[in-house]
């Protein structure tokens, strides 16, 4: 009796997870929590497979409510059957070949993965739909693909996307408060905190911020860039060179009238010894120009000729200080 009660509980929890994972509001955190639950006990994954099989039989994928699924499944725990072994073996096979348990075995299920690159490194990846992504230095992103949607979350850094277009499965990139919707495209996204730049190489995208206001949604095509500055909470559409949309892939960081704080943060993704801005007044200064990732020190040497600052090495860090400040009187 105790065993049956335990199995009933596992099946109820599995059914709850089945519904939660298919909720449009589900996040990457939901997936992580589900994975942690399946790791707690081998029986949890088996229970989840049984719930998935039942939902398939009911032919209500994507429409089964939490209450209906639990009501259909709750009272009886059948004796083990051979298909249990098949489900467990299939899951084990996925793990053995390096797959990830973001696969839920049925249409409408979602899969997820996380990718990252090291400081001063580039990494090229192919997503499961064939889309190619190149990550710049110190970049991290996660993907969540489902039956009807492809979602990429750029946590930090910069990435260049060559998207395989699929009208039935929209491709979206989220970077802070900004959402980029592909309309058959190759484009670059750079995120510095909440400051986001989208540079178009070809095709067209729709870019919107979290407010959802019509004035904060724009479309950009090749030869244009969209800049979102959280200090202004508005989109700025500017002209740009499509060939330079991802110039960092050729070791060139391009900046167009951007705050020094943004410039420094992006340079730090390519420099082992990070730059620090000592005086807040410097952060708002703007810089336009090119920084070669293999010649950052040369750029630093010339920078005081362009901006009113000093460059000093201190305690293993390179510090930028305001040259306009008078030294303290003793």
CB 318 within 8 A of CB 309: no
Q: Which of 5-19, 180-194, 223-237 has the lowest mean pLDDT?
A: 5-19
Task: Report how far residue 261's alpha carbon sits from residue 276's, in angstroms, rounded to the nearest whole number.
Answer: 9
User: pTM of the entire structure?
Assistant: 0.67
Q: What is the mean pLDDT of residues 272-283?
A: 94
Task: Return the axis-axis angle of helices 42-58 and 28-40, rounded to nearest 10°.
Answer: 120
Q: Identify the bridge partners of residue 227 per DSSP, sorted by sequence position.
A: 197, 236
Query: For residues 207 and 97, which has the higher predicted lDDT (pLDDT)?
Result: 207
Q: Identify the bridge partners of residue 191 per DSSP, sorted by sequence position.
A: 157, 196
pLDDT digits (tens, 9 = 90+) for 174-196: 999 999 998 778 999 999 999 99
CB 96 within 8 A of CB 87: no
Burial 22-60 (b: 16+ CB within 10 A, else e): beeebebebbeebeebbeeeebbbbbbbbbbebbeeeee
- Return phi, psi of residue 127, to 5°: -80, 170
What tokens does 284 get? 């708002």
Maximum average pLDDT range among 49-53, 158-162, 212-216? 158-162
Give every CB contact of residue 15 below 8 A, 6+ residues apart in sequence: 51, 66, 69, 70, 73
Helix (H) or strand (E) holding 87: helix 82-96
User: Class of 251-322 per CATH?
Assistant: alpha beta
Task: Report how far residue 215's alpha carbon sits from residue 154's, in angstroms, rounded to the nearest whole number.
Answer: 24
Q: How confident is the model at residue 100 (pLDDT cuts 50, 70, 90)?
A: very low
Query: What pLDDT score does 270 carry?
Result: 97
CB 192 within 8 A of CB 262: yes
Chain Cα centroid distance, residue 328: 46
Q: Which of 47-61, 274-288, 296-310 has the lowest mean pLDDT?
A: 47-61
Beta strand 195-202 with 286-292 is: unpaired
Residue reference for tokens 């973001």: 102
Flag whether pLDDT at 330 surpasses 80: no
Q: Is 96 helix (H, G, I), strand (E, B) or coil?
A: helix
Q: How do the domains of the chain map onto residue ranges? A: 2-96, 111-244, 251-322
Of all residues in the chain, the percent with pLDDT exceeding 70 is 76
Task: Report how far residue 7's alpha carbon sits from residue 43's, in angstroms, rounded to the nearest whole number.
Answer: 8
Q: Is 189 helix (H, G, I), strand (E, B) or coil?
A: strand
**For 305, left (φ over 0), alpha (ψ -120 to 50), or beta?**
alpha
Instruction: State whether the Cα torsion 96-99-100-104 is positive or negative.
Output: negative
For residue 260, count other CB atoms closer than 10 A to its CB.
21
Flag whether pLDDT at 87 surpasses 60: no
User: Class of 111-244 per CATH?
Assistant: mainly beta
What tokens does 48 get? 């989840």
Task: Report how far residue 325's alpha carbon sits from residue 309's, in angstroms, rounded to the nearest whole number.
Answer: 9
């Amino acid at each position: 009796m105790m065993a049956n009660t335990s199995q009933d509980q596992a099946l109820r929890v599995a059914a709850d997870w089945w519904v939660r994972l298919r909720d449009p509001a589900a996040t990457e955190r939901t997936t992580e929590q589900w994975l942690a639950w399946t790791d707690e006990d081998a029986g949890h994954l088996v229970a989840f497979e049984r719930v998935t099989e039942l939902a398939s039989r009911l032919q209500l994928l994507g429409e089964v409510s939490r209450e209906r699924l639990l009501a259909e499944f709750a009272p009886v725990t059948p004796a083990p059957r051979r298909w249990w072994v098949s489900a467990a073996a299939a899951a084990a096979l996925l793990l053995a070949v390096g797959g990830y348990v973001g696969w839920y075995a049925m249409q409408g299920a979602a899969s997820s993965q996380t990718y990252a690159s090291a400081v001063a490194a580039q990494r090229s990846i192919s997503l499961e739909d064939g889309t190619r992504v190149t990550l710049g230095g110190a970049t991290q992103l996660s993907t969540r693909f489902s039956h009807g949607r492809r979602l990429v979350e750029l946590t930090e850094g910069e990435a260049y996307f060559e998207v395989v277009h699929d009208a039935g499965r929209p491709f979206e990139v989220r970077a802070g408060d900004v959402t980029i919707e592909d309309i058959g495209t190759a484009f670059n996204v750079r995120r510095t905190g909440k400051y986001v730049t989208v540079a178009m190489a070809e095709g067209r995208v729709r870019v919107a911020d979290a407010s959802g206001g019509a004035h904060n949604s724009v479309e950009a095509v090749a030869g244009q860039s969209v800049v979102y500055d959280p200090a202004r909470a508005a989109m700025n559409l500017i002209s740009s060179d499509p060939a330079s949309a991802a110039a960092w892939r050729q070791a060139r960081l391009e900046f167009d009238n951007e705050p020094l704080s943004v410039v420094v943060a992006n340079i730090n993704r390519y420099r082992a010894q990070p730059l620090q801005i000592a005086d807040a007044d410097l952060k708002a200064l703007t810089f336009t120009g090119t920084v070669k990732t293999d010649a950052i020190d040369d750029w630093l040497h010339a920078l005081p000729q362009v901006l009113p600052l000093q460059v000093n090495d201190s305690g293993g860090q390179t510090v930028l200080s305001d040259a306009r400040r008078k030294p303290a009187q003793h």
